[in-house]
Amino acid sequence: MARPDKAAAVAELTDKFRSSNAAVLTEYRGLTVAQLKTLRRSLGENAQYAVVKNTLTKIAANEAGITLDDQLFAGPTAVAFVTGDPVESAKGLRDFAKDNPNLVIKGGVLDGKAMSADEIKKLADLESREVLLSKLAGAMKGKQSQAASLFQALPSKLVRTVDALRAKQAEQGGAE
């Protein structure tokens, strides 16, 4: 491969690292082409899975400002570049790896910070962004309802207290 081709490949990988929310490095040794195709589909629409050259990928990661452990670049490597929700893609990788033990998650990057394979598996255990946002919205709605009831209770309690005070004064005024 000529130098300009390598430079273009490094530039493309650098751009992918910079434009991605996350990148997960995997070892795919022993997987068939059909299995890789299935893996690409399981990652979702917001992820791109590419087989890469270790040296060029390491150079590209460094140019993108990402420091990765050299051990991640041992053996055949493929990278899942995630532009959408990283949880969805991490779940896809985890689930595929359960069914296909030849896929090994080595590590990765989330928002420019290096992650170990265990951290990526923990990320896969999280609920999706949409589920977390809906839970947050539900909790906020509940708190708003409680606040509204409290604010409605204060004036009515004040009115009952004033009425009771008037009634007591009327009784005292009539008793004298």
* pLDDT at residue 128, rounded to an integer: 67
CA distance 172 to 109: 78
The CATH number for 97's domain is 3.30.70.1730
CA distances from 171 to 21, 63, 159, 163 (A): 74, 87, 18, 12
| Contact criterion met (CB below 8 Å) for 49 and 78 | yes
- Which domain, by its residues, includes 1? 1-125
* pLDDT at residue 94, rounded to an integer: 86
Average pLDDT over residues 78-101: 86
Residues 72 and 34 in one domain: yes
Residues 84 and 7 in one domain: yes
Please state the pTM of the whole predicted model: 0.66
Residues 136 and 113 in one domain: no
* pLDDT at residue 1, rounded to an integer: 45
CA distance 128 to 150: 33
Considering its fold, how many domains does the chain have in total? 2
DSSP letter at 128 equals P
| Contact criterion met (CB below 8 Å) for 81 and 16 | yes
Residues 56 and 112 in one domain: yes
Residues 147 and 114 in one domain: no
Least confident of 19-28, 30-39, 111-120, 123-132: 123-132
Residues 121 and 136 in one domain: no
Please state, rounded to an integer, the average pLDDT across all residues of the chain: 82
Residues 112 and 149 in one domain: no
Higher pLDDT, 169 or 140: 169
CA distances from 12 to 8, 17, 65, 131, 152 (A): 6, 9, 15, 33, 60
- pLDDT tens sequence across 94-144: 888 888 888 888 888 888 788 888 888 887 777 666 776 777 777 777 677
Query: In what helix (H) or strand (E) does residue 3 lie, and over which residues does it extend?
Result: helix 3-19
Residues 51 and 135 in one domain: no
